[in-house]
Amino acid sequence: MTIKNAMRDHGQRYRPRMACLKKVGSAVLLEMQDPKTGVKSQLQRLVITTIPHAITGEDIVAWLANKFNISAEEGRSLGTMLVALGYIYPLQDHKRLVVKPDASLYRFQTPYFWPAQQWPVEDTDYAIYLAKRNIRKKGILELYEQEQYNHLHKWMNHKWDFIVMQAKEQYRAGKERKKPDRAVFDCQERAYWVVHRPPPGTVSGMDYGLDRLIDPNAEEVTETDLIFLTFLWLPSLSCFLPRVKSSVSIGALVKFVTTHKNHDPFLAQCLPSNPWVTDDVSYWTLNMANVEIPTKMRVERWTFSFVELLEDPRGRDDFRFFLKKEFSGENLAFWEGCEDLKWGAAAGMSEKAQHIYKTFLARGAPRWINIDGTTMEATVRGLKHPHRYVLDAAQTHIFMLMKKDSYGRYLKSQVFKDTTKNAINPEEQKFTDAQLDQNARNRRPSLSPIAIRQMELEQKAKLAASGPVDITQVMSKLSKQGKDAPPPPPPKK
Amino acid sequence: MCDQTFMAITFGPCDNCSTTSPLMNIYIKNEPTNYCSFCVEMMACQGLLKGETLASLKNESESLKKKLEEERAKLHDVELHQVAEKIEVVSALSIKTRRVLKGHGNKVLCMDWCKDKRRLVSSSQDGKVIVWDGFTLNKEHAVPMPCTWVMACAYAPSGCAIACGGLDNKCSVYPLSLDKNENLAAKKKSVAMHTNYLSGCTFTNSDMQILTSSGDGTCALWDVESGQLLQSFHGHTADVLSLDLAPSETGNTFVSGGCDKKANVWDMRSGQNVQSFETHESDINCCRLYDLRADREVAVYQKDSIIFGVSSLDFSLSGRLLFGGYNDYTINIWDVLKGNRVSMLFGHENRVSTVKVSPDGTSVCSASWDNTLRVSRALGMPWLLVLYSLT
């Protein structure tokens, strides 16, 4: 009465991550075993017998490094993977499945025991294996194997007779083999089980995580999916997408990468120093969100694009200050209100939308923004049934307006010139080894974001409690997530 | 400079049910119509219309795929490596592990950085979610989840909450508190409900919305306060394994990658699948770069000696470097423009599950099945989408 393990099909289909094993199994290992161009093999001397076809760790690493034109370290890593998967097994120290780049001996596993085979690794087989070893010599099982044996004995009790019978058969068949063959087979089998039933405390290379719910290699696509594909997505894909020429797009990509090159801490020096390297947090302190004086690098990023300016809270503050001087702060306030509407909580959304309408869009609104007739009409219509994207068209319009007009003027303005002039360019910090050790010992925790947010909320509450309730202060409360300091109220019109 | 062209989105009454909502532009019997996402799903589930068979639909889909390839090929006038020839080579990187975060009892499955550039949250197979200060190696919070295999975790933009989920099919939000003794599990908010495991989650621009992807083949956008489903995204035919938001000006799109070898770009407002990229099964262990504006694949990152698949990717700040965490326990660093491998990071003792660059680009953190996280350092791209091998 065998209970077939129907759920786990260990064929390649449901083990998607192990699909690479096919590639390893067929190509690389066959090449490695080639008598002429493969890894050099030698004889292993046991007490009386010698067994051929043993290879050393350093030969494996050298061969891999040569074949793939990679460094020795990478070759070692790749070799270790082959051992961890069970394609090659170590002859000494058989429980540690790594490649040691020295004269330690290894051997190729027979294809019968390769991990990419179709049949699942059954507990029954493991039980037979353990029983067989027990028969051969009592007490030979290691502690963890003994525990496994007892466990299997308990829950496979119903077929234990079958298991013992199989074990005896295999033991007898083994005795009839020649001694060298038997030694080799024992090694192979032992290696196989070290891979598939790893000793405690070791990592199993066969671990692949969870099974996929839907078979990724299945040919059958369901009806619903096909309908989706044909009638809905593909037509829209070909027609509605505004595509650009490759040269334009790739050119823009290259431009982005080159302009940002000096700002990438992996490619250029981080001034004053990278906190992870020197354990000195000046870089983070100088670049905090609401710092008074920004660094030169930070200000340079604001010139790259309008989005960069808006995404940096300090940049946005500077821009807001400039707009206040030009008496056109309502554009930015409207944009911020729309962002808050889009990303805010679902509750209270229609009230927010109405607020924004009353403050910015209605006739005679206190902070009236200038958008064209069609957009205004569409927005007003949409507001009859407000949803979070109802102000999208208007927001886009205002965004483009700010980007094409205000942004350009900001970059040429006195406000920006002053900011650039005052921006600091920190010196590169050079620490001696002793100072680095000191820094490492003095690592301090920083202010928790929760505490920062609490402080901001208190500050806003104070501001609201102090002055008269003003529609502009209501708008300042709507500014995004309270992360920014509330903007100064604009002059009364 | 980042001049993303905006997709014209229509709002208004749906042609079918007349509710006002964001609409999807679709073709029914070659007639352009505007349906809301709910009606689209209803229609698809109604089965084959009269006069269609499964075979005819398959043929139709094949011919449309060919047409899509032709459209894409028309604008293909230059290759990335041609343009990249004029750019100077990346100088040799020397990247070292700066911190090793030990403390998880089992495989670390996912991690995310906080916007303050030093805190991070990580989730593990043993059901624990830990918030660390990466800089001081302090564990600030530890949340025990009721399920194992917590495959997704995310840090809120404000730094005041985390979201996580996995085999419990849900995404829960835990508001963090300064009180060390407070039981965070008590204030848990169950936000997302899927019909299968949660593979990825991320907050959008605020703490109030979460985007999730699941093994049941869908992605969904949820409101945190009420747990309401705001939008669902159907179109993958197999498990969806990962997702990422677009850093574009309007911030309205995201990309999801699934087991069906497709990467789909979605519009968050209407639920429409805007673009789709398909890979072929033959190359299963490489990373591909897709240009969203030109709508085609522009580069493939692979090497003979890399036999194993990638589990996670991230760009460096300038977009020049691509960090890939592989199943052979290493991290390979690619030069995005020139296509060659720049460097390799060793050190993990089991496969790398997640790789993320910190928000200011100063370091990269890798989470691995060897129960540790490593933060390494050496001395964001609205166009690009990178698809890693779906192994």
Q: Does A221 touch chain B (CB under 8 A)?
A: yes
User: Would the pLDDT of B379 be above 50?
Assistant: no
* pLDDT the model gives residue B3: 35
Spatial distance between the Cα atoms of A434 and A426, rounded to a whole number of angstroms: 22
* pLDDT the model gives residue A493: 41
User: Would the pLDDT of B282 be above 50?
Assistant: no
Which residue in B61, B169, B336 has the most chain A C-beta atoms within 10 A of its own C-beta, making it the best mutation to test that interface?
B61
Q: Does B62 touch chain A (CB under 8 A)?
A: no
Could A387 and B21 be called an inter-chain contact, meaning their C-beta atoms sit closer than 8 Å? yes
Which residue in B99, B117, B318 has the most chain A C-beta atoms within 10 A of its own C-beta, making it the best mutation to test that interface?
B318
Helix axes A123-136, A179-196, angle to 10 degrees: 140
Which residue in chain B has the smallest CA separation from A238? B68
Dihedral sign, Cα of residue B114, residue B119, residue B120, residue B126: negative
Contact indicator for A284, A444 with CB cutoff of 8 Å: no
The domain total for chain B is 1
Cis link prior to A111 (omega < 30° from 0)? Answer: no
With H, G, I as helix, E, B as strand and everything else as coil, classify residue A435. helix
* pLDDT the model gives residue A92: 81
User: Would the pLDDT of B211 be above 90?
Assistant: yes
Is 0.90 surpassed by the pTM of this model? Answer: no
Tokens standing for residue B68: 């899509």
Could A69 and B54 be called an inter-chain contact, meaning their C-beta atoms sit closer than 8 Å? no
Instruction: Kindly list the distances between the CA atom of residue A47 and the CA atoms of A51, A57, A77, A89, A189, in Å, as whole numbers in the listed order.
Output: 11, 22, 32, 20, 20
Provide, rounded to the nearest whole percent, the portion of chain B with pLDDT above 90: 13
* pLDDT the model gives residue B155: 93
Over residues B144-156, mean pLDDT:
89
Please name which of A100, A106, A89, A46 lies closest in space to residue A193, comparing C-alpha atoms: A89
* pLDDT the model gives residue A8: 39
Contacts of B124 in chain A (CB under 8 A): none
User: Would the pLDDT of B172 be above 80?
Assistant: yes
Please name which of B118, B96, B106, B45 lies closest in space to residue B368, comparing C-alpha atoms: B106
* pLDDT the model gives residue A216: 54
Alpha carbon of A310: minimum distance to chain B alpha carbons (Å): 10
In degrees rounded to 5, what are phi and psi of residue A88? -130, 140
In degrees rounded to 5, what are phi and psi of residue B298? -115, -20
Specify the amino acid at residue A104: S
Instruction: Kindly list the distances between the CA atom of residue A185 and the CA atoms of A16, A96, A180, A265, in Å, as whole numbers in the listed order.
Output: 30, 19, 9, 54
Within a domain: B243: no
Choose the closest CB to B375 out of A245, A276, A445: A276
* pLDDT the model gives residue B173: 93
Q: Does B250 touch chain A (CB under 8 A)?
A: yes
Within a domain: B275: no
User: Would the pLDDT of B386 be above 50?
Assistant: no
Specify the amino acid at residue B195: T
Within a domain: B29: yes
Residue B366 Ramachandran class (φ > 0 left, ψ -120 to 50 alpha, else beta): beta
Which domain range does residue B33 map to?
Answer: 9-45
Within a domain: B37: yes
Alpha carbon of A273: minimum distance to chain B alpha carbons (Å): 9
* pLDDT the model gives residue A240: 58
Spatial distance between the Cα atoms of A189 and A482, rounded to a whole number of angstroms: 65
pLDDT-based confidence at B174, cuts 50/70/90?
A: very high
pLDDT, one tens digit per residue, over A84-138 is 888 888 888 777 888 888 888 888 888 888 776 666 778 888 888 888 888 887 7
Specify the amino acid at residue B321: L
Which residue in A246, A261, A352 has the most chain B C-beta atoms within 10 A of its own C-beta, making it the best mutation to test that interface?
A246
Over residues B272-288, mean pLDDT:
69
Spatial distance between the Cα atoms of B201 and B154, rounded to a whole number of angstroms: 6
* pLDDT the model gives residue B130: 92
Averaged pLDDT of chain B? 80
pLDDT, one tens digit per residue, over B352-369 is 888 999 888 888 899 988
Within a domain: B35: yes
Within a domain: B163: no
Provide, rounded to the nearest whole percent, the portion of chain B with pLDDT above 70: 85
Which residue in B88, B131, B360, B364 has the most chain A C-beta atoms within 10 A of its own C-beta, making it the best mutation to test that interface?
B360
Spatial distance between the Cα atoms of A10 and B244, rounded to a whole number of angstroms: 31
- Confirm whether the ipTM is greater than 0.95: no
Please name which of B381, B361, B235 lies closest in space to residue A254, comparing C-alpha atoms: B381
Spatial distance between the Cα atoms of A285 and A275, rounded to a whole number of angstroms: 10
Could B362 and A269 be called an inter-chain contact, meaning their C-beta atoms sit closer than 8 Å? no
Instruction: Kindly list the distances between the CA atom of residue A312 and the CA atoms of A195, A303, A304, B66, in Å, as whole numbers in the listed order.
Output: 52, 12, 12, 43
User: Would the pLDDT of B41 be above 60?
Assistant: yes
In degrees rounded to 5, what are phi and psi of residue B27? -115, 125
Within a domain: B324: no
Task: Determine the straight-line distance between the first and last CA of chain A, rounded to whole angstroms.
Answer: 90
Low-confidence ranges of chain A (pLDDT < 50): 1-14, 480-493
Element (H, E) at A454: helix A449-466
User: Would the pLDDT of B387 be above 70?
Assistant: no
* pLDDT the model gives residue B177: 84
Instruction: State the CB neighbour count (10 A cutoff) for residue A73.
Output: 14
| Sheet of B152-155, strands arranged across | B152-155, B161-165, B170-175, B189-193
Q: Does A405 touch chain B (CB under 8 A)?
A: no
Contacts of B83 in chain A (CB under 8 A): 247, 250-251, 254
pLDDT, one tens digit per residue, over B78-116 is 888 888 888 888 887 888 888 889 888 888 999 999 988
Contacts of A286 in chain B (CB under 8 A): none
Total residue count of chain A as it appears in this document: 493
Could A264 and B361 be called an inter-chain contact, meaning their C-beta atoms sit closer than 8 Å? yes
Within a domain: B22: yes
User: Would the pLDDT of B121 be above 90?
Assistant: yes
- Full set of structural domains in chain A with CATH: 18-117 (1.10.10.10), 123-206 (1.10.1240.60), 294-423 (1.10.167.10)
Task: Determine the straight-line distance between the first and last CA of chain B, rounded to whole angstroms.
Answer: 36
